[in-house]
Structure 1
Amino acid sequence: MAYFLTADGGTESLRARVYDLAGTCLGSVAVPYETKFSAGARAEQDPEDWWSAFVKASRQAIAQSGVDAAAIEAVTLATTSCTVVALDRDGKALRPAIIWMDVRANAEADAVLATGDAALIANGGGRGPVSAEWMIPKALWIARNEPNIFEAAHTICEYQDFMTLRLTGERAASLNNVTLRWHYATDRGGWAASLVEKLGLSALLDKWPLRVVPPGGVVGNLSARAAEELGLSTRVKLVQGGADALIGMIGLGVAKPGQLALITGSSHLQFGVTENAVHAPGVWGTYRDCVYPDRYIIEGGQTSTGSIIAWLGRLMNGTMDIDELNRKAAALEPGCDGLLVQDHFQGNRTPYTDPLSRGAIVGLTLAHEPQHIMRAMMEGIGFGTRAILDAMADAGYRGTEITIGGGAGASDLWLQIHADTAGLPVCVPASRDAPSVGSAVLAAHGAGHFATIDDGIAAMVRPGKRIEPRKREVGLYDEIYQQYRALYPALKSVLENKGQSV
């Protein structure tokens, strides 16, 4: 038997898992690490914490699995994207990593968009926005505000690349990350050289990793030092992974044109697979070769989704019984007796791209109870997803089914609401640990057990349940959706009249 070690490096912890060729998880251990927050929407981590968490979690997961460490053939990691690190020649961090949720680089993001460079076609067809989370704005912030750090940096890269360097000694980036967030494009000549030159940031090109390796490609073997720390052999291959949500697409089995992955948690991310380039306002992408060779990925996102349900729980002062509320909410009719929720509690990422838009609960009466509000929130989030699907359709991409990973998969009610509001079937694989399963598929492919990533998906991703949209409910939601669409311009007008820019 062949076995594979994976790591899912998230915002709060790193989880190592051991898989076999059938996609069975044999051992799973998570080790937390600290995030330090400060004023100005700043969030930082110590890269050494990632490495120590990886070593500890990996050793324990292998021991838990009962697998002989000598049987581990390959390692693949999925990590947070847009987590930027500056390293010296020895690979040591010159400052804490600026993690994905840190948006200190807002002014720099505006400067990137102002260049009007052709590479910005992936940002709403060139109209924006450029997120302060992305690589170039963060690198520009370092250059402007910490010029000594920028000058001293031998390498400026991401979490993924730091781990690659520590594991193999190779300065190699994932094609997944660089096409997703660095404005790299395989169909436009690679690096966005003209973009960084317009920003006076040409030196950044020499600081980025030397190689770009696609997901499933072999970066190299473990170095002697890394192998010793992990208790593994130097024969073990490091197979390239990428951004956790995108590697999660593989773990969900979303690979064919028309399929769409809905990654759920505190927020929602929508990633569709298409055979053709699609660029338009209201969506991000498309990104060629980002996950699969010769296929494109189109992207949408909702800023606050599961976090809205958590907010309701805080308002209920710890008295919210989620199972009981789900049961009561499932007995309600669509529309929750006149309730309508706009899900923009933390602004709107797509299709409006309005960070100052706000959430709303409309239609409240004294007869409404917590289950009405919770279901209306689920419906509002479902409508937000549908608005993104509509924007994708306007751009030329039409999804045929939705595959859900993450927290929403635990609620049968929410799954059915997503199917009914979108009018599309919803699939949930047997395992909701999508980034880890996707990493296992890539590791097996890179180790030579499967000719393609698609073959690995067929062998290792197990189907779960499928929820069909209900004709009657689809019709009812079609009517309510039009009311939802009317909320944004109406509330925008109200906020503008109050003097609040939206």
Structure 2
Amino acid sequence: MTNATQDLILGLDCGTGGARALIATVAGDVLAIVDSPYPTHYPHAGWATQSPDAWWRAACEAVRGAIAEASIDPARIAAICADGTSSTLVSLDADLTPVSDAILWMDNRASPQAHRIEHTGHPALRRSRAGVSAETALPKIMWLKDNAPEAYSATRWFVEMTDYMALCLSGTLTLGQNHTINRWFYNPRAGGWPVDFLDAIGLAGITERFPKDMPALGDPIGPITAQAAAQMGLSPKTLVVAGGTDAYVAMVGLNTLRPGETALITGTSHLVLPVVAEDVEIEGLFGPHPDCVSQGAFVMEGGQVSSGGILRWWHDLLHEGDNGYEEMLAQAEAAPPGANGLVVLDFWQGNRNPFTDYDLQGAIWGLTLKHGRADITRALMESVALGTANILGRLQARGLEVKTMTLAGGVLRSPFWAQMHADATGVTLRIPDVGEATAFGAAITAAVGAGLYPSLEQAADAMVRIRSEIHPDPARHAQLSSQMELYLETHAALRPLMHRQAARSRASPAAH
């Protein structure tokens, strides 16, 4: 329990592009948000890595900046909670030092290993009926064992980005239940680790390399270390609280914690996260994941690997630095719906849901000499919105109608793109006061760990406020529904060619 002078909390969101620190009051008023970037490296096609040291430097810089921006005494900060990108694998040696750069979530080098896991048909795969994602930790661990035996042998502990940040903050090695439930096949309702499954996929004994301390989202870990407190400018009395997967922590920041509520998390990637009361399976989606956010409830998951990342790629081809976004989006808005006949598949890093196929690639067709940059920008944006609608279609086919989604992340910066998502899906979007829901969710989670609220649900009820709603336009919804038919037919037609190209790239990566 905190003392009366500790009336603030700190959320640290470690995303794909950088660290974001958010300081808030226990009433939910945000005092400061500060970002600090770190780079991503792409050493081969389909690979993506980051430096854990770069994460920590950026996190310290963001926290120090937020304290300065808020102009507060750091002794007032009761607790800090850090989230991280999902399935970003960190290999630690016996001294708890990273063996190499982390394998980022979007890295799809382990696609063959994911297929091997899938082909076992083991009962543990029921929450991955869509197929085993190459992004997740177990295929990546298998890839290391198959292709980098020295690094694999040097690894004493496998953890995720969130756990590494908690280690840097607290000095305590943990492996959070939030991400092990939704990504590592851990099931607290079925005895924990599925040991026979791990044996069957060639990872016998691997749990000996998994930390035994497995806190749930919002559990206190312990006080910040003196070294971390000094580097961040925090009080040594600050409590470190267990975080989890960034998008699942954002559910706390959006207060979508009860059955019937759905979060739409947008950024470099998109995630649709409905909460359901029953243990149901939906073809093409992951889940149901039990008790990984709210106790007693299940989370379904549908994701797009490349969404905002595609727009960033296109922007960076056209512009230097961060210049040009406003003009680029304004030009796209002026282009006609349907982008003068262009069709795009948003599979720049493969498809997570509903196809779960990391051998797919991005595609643009219908190009003629009449098309300009605005048409291509609009077509890219429409493809991402259609990808979201495609995920919701699987829910609706199972009879789980989604009438509203609470929106967070990058799409909020473009009212035009937010409206396009509402039009493509036919769903009303709820807009929160605090759009940076992941960092805000981490702060709310910190408040629960510090004992300032008794549960995540009660904390979110008190701290999250909805500002407005975006309703779908019926005419544009009909037009985009027609576009969806071309989207699906294009996938079906190009899938065999994309698989052949992916096989060529794996056979000779330097040549392709």
Contact persistence 1:91–1:166 (CA under 8 A): no
Q: Does residue 1:113 correspond to 2:118, yes or no? A: yes
Q: Deviations over 1:253-281 (max 9, x none)?
A: 32232322222223322221111223233
Pairs within 5 Å for 1:102-501: 102-124=107-129, 128=131, 130-313=132-315, 322-324=325-327, 326-327=329-330, 329-330=332-333, 334-363=337-366, 368-492=371-495
CA separation in 2, counterparts of 1:197 and 1:169?
Answer: 31
> Any idea what the Cα deviations from partners look like across 1:119-168, whole Å, max 9, x if unmatched?
2112126xx2x223211122223334444544453322112112223333
Are the structure 2 counterparts of residues 243 and 362 from structure 1 closer, same or farther at C-alpha, using a change threshold of 3 Å? Answer: same
Cα distance in 1 for residues equivalent to 2:167 and 2:499 = 49
User: 1:396 Cα deviation (Å)?
Assistant: 4.6
Deviations 1:281-308 (A, max 9, x none): 3111221112221111111122333344
Q: Which amino acid in the other structure matches residue 82 of structure 2?
A: L
In structure 1, the gaps of 5 or more residues are none
Residue 329 of structure 1 and its aligned partner are, at CA, apart by 4.8
CA RMSD of aligned residues (A): 3.1
CA drift at 1:78? 1.0
Q: Which amino acid aligns with 1:63?
A: A
Distance of aligned partners of 1:34 and 1:422 in 2 relative to their CA distance in 1, 3 Å threshold:
closer
Residues 224, 81 of structure 1: alpha-carbon distance in 2 compared, 3 angstrom cutoff: same
Contact persistence 1:278–1:397 (CA under 8 A): no
Give, in angstroms, the shift of residue 450 of structure 1. Answer: 1.6
CA deviation vs aligned residue, 1:308-335 (integer Å, no higher than 9, x gap): 4345445656799554554565466643
- Counterpart CA distance in 2 for 1:136 and 1:414 is 35
Aligned residue for 2:418, secondary structure, equals helix
Match of 1:97 in 2: 102
Describe the shift of the 1:499–1:423 C-alpha distance in structure 2 as closer, same or farther (beyond 3 A). Answer: closer
2:507 aligns with none
Q: Distance in 2 between matches of 1:379 and 1:427?
A: 20
Over 3 Å counting, the alpha-carbon distance change for 1:308 and 1:162 in structure 2 is closer
Give 1:75 shift. 0.9
Cα pair distance change 1:175/1:493, threshold 3 Å: closer
CA 1:74–1:338: 2 relative to 1, 3 Å: same
Tell me, yes or no, if the aligned pair for 2:46 and 2:349 is still in contact at 8 Å.
no
SS in 2 for 1:4: strand
Query: Is the alpha carbon distance of 1:396 and 1:234 closer, same or farther for their aligned partners in structure 2, counting shifts above 3 Å?
Result: farther
Which range moves more in the overlay, 64-73 or 220-229? 220-229
User: Which whole-Å CA distance do the structure 2 matches of 1:495 and 1:297 have between them?
Assistant: 31
Structure 2 unaligned regions, length at least 5: 505-512
Shift of 1:401: 0.9
- Mapped to 1, the partners of 2:493 and 2:167 lie a distance apart of 51
- Residues matched between the structures, number: 499
Cα separation, 2, equivalents of 1:317 and 1:223: 42
Question: After alignment, is 422-431 or 12-21 more displaced?
Answer: 12-21
Q: List per-residue Cα deviations over 1:463-485 (Å, max 9, x = no partner).
A: 22211112333334334433433
* Larger RCO (alpha carbons 8 Å, 6+ apart): 2
Secondary structure at the counterpart of residue 62 of structure 1: helix
